[in-house]
Amino acid sequence: MAPQLTWIGLGNMGRGMCKNLVEKGNLEKPLIIFNRTVKRATDLQSKLPEGKTVVAQTLEEAVSKASIVFTCLGDDAAVKDTLDSIGAHIKGKLFVDCSTIHPETTTMISKAIQGKGGEFVACPVFGAPAMAESGQLVCVLAGPSDLVEKVKPYCTGVMGRAIIDFSDQPPSKATLLKIIGNTFIINMVETLSEGHTLAEKSGLGTDNLHNFIETMFPGPYTAYSRRLMAGDYYKRDEPLFGVDLARKDVRHALSLAGDSGVKMRGLEVAEAHLEEVQKHSGSKGDIAGIYGAVREESGLEFEN
């Protein structure tokens, strides 16, 4: 029998991932979608092929009818709350969590799901919302190999361009990689922000610096450099990588580092700047707003 898929969580990443599941996933049954704010689900449904999605009004409705449940939520608390709300409907279902959460939370929810007769695979993803929209994410899969195999058909060529396969490794290894990997992104934005600010103040000019970045570091460095130059770091109504989520990832990384006896000095600097972004922009703040914070402490305006 064809599996019934449910998707819970329609943030910047979840919307694009759902779109690609519907359009490329060869689903035999409509995808059930749920978001705490129902309007976000109905708005997404209106943009997808007719008859390919069903909007659930409650979590219980979304999960009770599913055999495979994908979750993509903002933080650890949201994942735990969701799990608590659906406890009676876990048995016999495969849960695939794409959220960026602490590895200890992954272990906790994996054990809780298994304890109630369900199955679990961790599937955090690397990539910006634009990559989620275009199906170019990198999916990190961890858990029992037979369960990972059930999830793979929805990854490469559907939601993602590649898989990092941690089959038969604890699910927490996937979120451990995700947290450490996100520190690379945060440090990259910090480096670009300092470089662009110095280029402006020293007289080199940001256009000349960007020419170097584009030549030497095509890809994420170039994309973020463009965002900084265009002022995209403060002009958005909805952040691409919200400051609240970035600071959550920093907290997790610094906690892991502390437990492991590792110092992450660069990340501590970035966290101080993210704190300033949060003060300046509130929940609309974006990780790229680090540029504004570096500018301010260098005697320039936050906005370029």
SS3 42: helix
DSSP β-ladder status, 125-126 and 137-143? antiparallel
- Point out the catalytic residue in the list 91, 178, 201, 284: 178
Task: Tell me the C-alpha to C-alpha distance, in Å, between residue 189 and each of 196, 218, 219, 236, 293.
Answer: 10, 14, 13, 17, 12
Nearest-angstrom CA–CA distance, 258 and 252: 10
Please say whether the beta carbons of 206 and 229 come within 8 A. Answer: yes
What residue has token string 């970045």? 213
Nearest-angstrom CA–CA distance, 179 and 154: 23
Query: ∠ CA 248-254-256 to the nearest 5 degrees?
Result: 105
**3-state percent helix, strand, coil for the chain, nearest multiple of 5:** 60, 15, 30
263 catalytically annotated:
no
Residues identified as active-site: 178
